[in-house]
Amino acid sequence: MKKKSICFLLLWAGLICMAYGGSYFYFAGLKTPADEMDGSGNIVEVVHKEDAILPTTRLITETYNLKTGEMDTDVSNMPSLYLGLDREELILSLNDYMDELPLSEIEDGLMSFDVISYSPESVTLRKTYYPDEDFYKYYVVYQRGRIVVYYADHKTVCDYPSISLRDLPLGLQGSVLVGMPVKDDEALYNFLQNYSS
C-alpha cells in the first residue's frame, strides 16, 4: 500500500511538472514578440538605432566660464545614464537636468548644458557657468506660521529654526515676510545665533 502511494505521488508530481513546463514553453517560447511581426503575422527584422550612444562612446565634457573665458576639457567613459540615447533624447535629458539642477550647480552658476558634437564614437557636451559674486546660498521666509530656511533653489528646506517672527526687529520681519536672501553659511549662522530662542 505504501509503495502504491509513493508511486502515485511521484506520478502526480511528474504530471504537474510536465503541465507547468509545457504551458511555459507554449506561452513564452513559441510566441514571437509583437515588435518583430508585421500586421500579416510575418516576422520582420527589428531596426536598431544606428546613431545611439554606445558603451565605447567617449564623453568629452567642456566646462566654460563666461566671466574669465577659461575652458576646461575632461574626457571620460560614457555614464550609463546616456547609453542608448540618440541626439534628440540626449538633448531632452540635458534639458531635464537643467530643470532640476542640483544645489552645487546652482551655487557654481550653471547657465546652460549643451550638446556641441554628437557621433557614436564621441559626444561633446558643454557646461557654461557664470559665477555670481552676489549669489545667495540661502533664503529665509515666513510660511504657514513659522520661519523656514531654504537653499538657493527655493525648494529644498535647510532648517526650521525656532525663531518667532515677533522676536525679530520690525525691518527684519518685513524682509522675512517677503523672503530674505542670505549670502552664505556664516551669515546664516549669525542670523540663527542672534535670533534663536
Where are the chain's structural domains?
Answer: 58-129, 138-195
What sign results for the dihedral spanned by CA atoms 165, 168, 174, 175? negative
The 10s digit of each residue's pLDDT in 155-169 is 889 898 988 888 888
Percent of residues, the chain, with pLDDT higher than 70: 85
The DSSP bridge partners found for residue 81 are none
Q: Which pLDDT score is estimated for 14?
A: 80
For the entire predicted model, the pTM comes to 0.58
Q: What is the 3-state secondary structure (H, E, C) of 63-87?
A: EEECCCCCEEEEEEECCHHHCCCCH
Q: Provide the pLDDT for residue 40.
A: 57
Lowest mean pLDDT among 26-30, 101-105, 132-136: 26-30
Overall average pLDDT of the 173-184 stretch = 89
Give the mean pLDDT of 74-91: 92
Span 32-51, average pLDDT: 55
Would strands 180-182 and 146-151 be described as parallel, antiparallel, or unpaired? unpaired
Stretch 151-157: mean pLDDT: 85
pLDDT of residue 62: 95
> What's the whole-number mean pLDDT along residues 165-180?
88
Instruction: Specify the pLDDT at position 35.
Output: 47
- pLDDT per position as a tens digit, 111-149: 999 999 998 899 999 999 988 777 888 899 998 888 999
Checking 191-195 for CB contacts under 8 A at 24+ apart, the result is: 191/140, 192/159, 192/161, 192/163, 195/161, 195/163, 195/167, 195/168
